[in-house]
Amino acid sequence: MLANLGEDALLHQSQLYIGGHFFGSDTRPTFECTDPVSQEVVTQAIASRASDARAAASAAAGDFPAWSKTDPAERSRILLEAATIMEKRASEVVRIANDEIGSSEEWTRFNVQIAVDLFKNAAQLADSLTEEVTQGPTPDLTYRLQRKPAGVVLALAPWNAAVTLATRSVAAPLALGNCVVLKASELCPKTHEWVSRALNDAGLPPGVLNFITNSPEHAREVVEALIAHPAVRRVNFTGSTRVGRQIAVQAANYLKRCLLELSGKGTMIILEDADLEEAAKASAHACFINQGQVCMSTERILCVNSVADRFAELFAIEARKLRTNGTNNRPLGTLISASSVLRLRGLIEDALSKGARLVEGGEAFNNILQPTILDHVTPGMRIYTEEAFGPVAGIIRVEDADEAMSIANDTEFGLVASVFSKDAEKAQFLLDQIEVGIGHVNGSTVYDDPAMPFGGLKASGYGRFGGQEALSEFTEVQWITVREAQT
């Protein structure tokens, strides 16, 4: 256990934050997080149980009346200050995220910048709790529509884009006057605590943002206790479809509204008139950034057969630029576990055994899989349908745009797609027929703008983060009728 760790060991201490008070290992049991490559202990975190979960939700409920009435300008100021703190402390989280989840410095700093942008965008939402007054159907009747904070929001954040997605889960709810319980991923408790501390150090009143962690074996107990708590009115979860279904069922039992941003299998379509060099560059970014551990990652490339050979050549050239030399985890970071490597190797070997051709990559070491390209992927191969969530791209050859559209919709997921063509109108028409929440023309599938709605269809979830969509997700609308008194 921890007593065996030397003084030079990389060890982070993660604490709970409930109602303005920190709780550490002196009062709570703990669990350990390990470096995904070395398996050395890097973080000691608090193993919360249901009682801590209920305490966090109650603390949030207790501060909700005051926070919901706080001047919007003050809420905005705090979020902007949190953004400034994040920028100043970025080097801290670079080390933490590298230790806990193997993130490269480039990926973590990119995460921090997106998180800063999320806070700045959320700050603009703070004064969106407006009242609309309209005339009713008769002269003596007036309608008032009041938008109000929902209450306590439960935020369940994942590990893969730890800083960005933890920030996204709390920024808009806080801006709109809600109080929040942020439950960290079991894989990166200190990284998520870093986000929480930036907000609380920016001046959030005690109880507005509460932070809890739990060991993997107690995850179900803690989440169920939080969802069941009467004060919790909203749940947002980013993660796998498998877990998202469980969250949705639990929330339905208590009639709690969910925002679920779940698994994806991003599709990129390369038409015969595409700029193949630009498409190859975008594909390398979309398929391989952060070892492909991004919900928006491109996993299927539907390429018109007449240009497929040339595209595969160019794509391979771009993929080689992203190979690691083995001395560190740059530029793409590491996979989250050795089991991820084994699973991805299984997908690759299955495809090869059924006729796919290995164009590039396939080698793995130290939880790193070199960028991998498979050509001639067809139905019947596991990688055709399963979410890889790793740096493995499958090229599926098609005859024309119509076949590409048909195959693009032949998936249970519906998060994101991109079309490359010099005919932007044709590309947009194609995207209109594809069942996804997000579409791009001549761009990477890995792209986000905090001001725009973000979410998917089908098994990729429901609800939207981002911009004005946050108003419907994290507020309630009250309709009031006012009749003039008869004299």
Tokens 């200190």 locate to 190
Helix (H) or strand (E) holding 255: none
Cα–Cα dist 333/387, whole Å: 19
Average model confidence (pLDDT) across the chain: 95
68-72, 286-290, 363-367, 374-378: segment of lowest average pLDDT: 363-367
Query: In this predicted model, what pLDDT tens digit does every residue of 147-169 receive, in sequence order?
Result: 999 999 999 999 999 999 999 99
Bridge partners of residue 303, in order along the sequence: 270, 397
Helix intervals (H) in 321-420: 338-353, 382-385, 401-408
Q: Does the annotation count 188 as an active-site position?
A: no
Tell me where in the chain the CATH 3.40.309.10 domain(s) lie: 266-455
pLDDT at 11: 85
Tokens at 153, concatenated: 């929001």
**What is the helix (H) or strand (E) element at residue 148, kind and residue range?**
strand 141-149
Where do you find CATH 3.40.605.10 in the chain?
2-262+463-477
Q: How many CB atoms lie within 10 A of CB 253?
A: 11
Sheet arrangement for strand 16-18: 21-23, 16-18, 209-212, 179-183, 152-156, 232-238, 257-261, 461-462
State the pLDDT at residue 2.
29
Q: Which of 179, 295, 360, 469 is catalytic?
A: 295
pLDDT band at 372 (very low <50, low <70, confident <90, very high): very high
Q: Which of 81, 105, 186, 261 is catalytic?
A: 261
According to CATH, the topology of domain 266-455 is: Aldehyde Dehydrogenase; Chain A, domain 2 (3.40.309)
Which two structure tokens, joined as six digits, stand for 437? 């929440």
SS3 71: coil
Would you say 318 and 287 are in contact if contact means Cβ atoms under 8 Å apart?
no
β-pair partners for 465: 454
Verify whether residue 295 is a known catalytic residue.
Answer: yes
Is pLDDT above 70 for 355?
Answer: yes
Higher pLDDT, 266 or 485: 266
Per-residue tokens: 421: 């063509």
pTM, 2 dp: 0.94
Residues 25-36 have a mean pLDDT of 94
Q: What is the pLDDT of residue 7?
A: 37
Confidence (pLDDT) at 325 = 81
Question: Which parts of 229-324 fold into alpha helices (H)?
Answer: 241-253, 276-288, 305-320
Q: For residues 86 and 419, what is the distance between their CA atoms, to the nearest angstrom?
A: 35
Give, in words, the CATH class of 2-262+463-477.
alpha beta
pLDDT at residue 388, as a whole number? 97
Closest listed residue to residue 83, CA positions, set 244, 226, 246, 201: 201
